[in-house]
Amino acid sequence: MTTQPNTDVLPQGTRIGRTALRVSNLEELSEFYRDVVGLNVQQQTETSSILGVDETPLLVLERDSDAPARQRTSTGLYHNAFRVPSREALGDALVRIRDRWQLGGASDHLVSEALYLTDPEGNGIEIYRDFPREQWPVTDDGRVRIDTEPLDLDSIEAAAAGGTRAPSGTDVGHVHLEVSSLDAFADFYVDTLGFEVQTTVPAAFFVSAGGYHHHIGANTWNRRTNPARGRGLSWFEVVLPDAEALDALRNRLADGEFAVTETDRGISVADPDEIELRFRTET
């Protein structure tokens, strides 16, 4: 008997692609993500910068000098999470942060080791490395267990290998959002888009495709109530493995009567907090 794929969930191979930030000072932010985070500036104009690793774009900075600062009540980005491929690369990131910026926090999440900081315009950043997947703890119901424990920063720094840039294999592992309602988040991201819940903690959900610990986090910790506006997260991208997955997603969105915009590379849709998601296939 042939088993048909479940078209109600996003398939194995789904990943986060680029993220985009609406910024005021394009030059300062470009230098920060180059010198502290370690990305390469791949393309720069008067109105935008594209940064990434090797030939892979990971971050788009969009200049909007007229955009107001994000208000305390506005939903949007909690952090962009850049995933590095090794503990050595995480150690190098820690050295750059300590030499050129300020570390905001650090945690052992049982599935990963993470460093936290904030860019010059207040956007949260996580730089992390995953433990091998076979080491991730799993709950009795089969979900990945995530926790927050102290991280041994001395051992992280001791692993540094002297790298001044994020190495090959670095990507955007996940995006963490501040939302107005976890119920609305679940209705859209789980029931419609097809992500699967991996972990819940007080006032936060972590969802993924293909069993990853999380591709998207969402929290209501700061009780934000208004749609995303002003500087900060402009959009982020979800990359699907094939055209069939994109077609299935397009059908689910149509069934839910969401407004979908066709783009050159895929589709675009706004979530309940008016955060733009862009979907495309691997190229």
Task: Give the number of other Cβ atoms within 10 Å of residue 107's Cβ.
Answer: 18
C-beta of residue 17 within 8 angstroms of C-beta of residue 238:
yes
Q: What is the pLDDT of residue 13?
A: 96
Euclidean distance between CA atoms 226 and 60, whole angstroms:
24
Confidence band, pLDDT 50/70/90 cuts, at residue 1? very low
Residue 67: φ, ψ to 5°: -70, 130
Q: What is the pLDDT of residue 227?
A: 93
* Owner of token pair 């208000």: 71
234 burial class (0-12, 13-18, 19+ CB within 10 angstroms)? buried
Confidence band, pLDDT 50/70/90 cuts, at residue 6? low
Give residues with Cβ within 8 angstroms of 217, minimum separation 6. 78, 174, 175, 176, 177, 204, 205, 206, 207
Average pLDDT, the chain: 95
Pairing of strands 204-208, 216-219: antiparallel
pLDDT in tens, 32-88: 999 999 999 999 999 999 999 999 999 999 999 888 999 999 999 999 999 999 999
pLDDT in tens, 202-236: 999 999 999 999 999 999 999 999 998 899 999 99
Q: What is the pLDDT of residue 268?
A: 98
Q: Which is nearest to 163 in space by CA: 95, 107, 210? A: 95
Q: What is the pLDDT of residue 100?
A: 97
Confidence band, pLDDT 50/70/90 cuts, at residue 283? confident
What domains sit in the chain, N to C, each tagged with a CATH number?
A: 15-281 (3.10.180.10)
C-beta of residue 248 within 8 angstroms of C-beta of residue 256:
no
* Sign, CA torsion 59/61/62/66: positive
Confidence band, pLDDT 50/70/90 cuts, at residue 7? low
Hey, is 215 helix, strand or coil? coil
Q: What is the pLDDT of residue 3?
A: 42
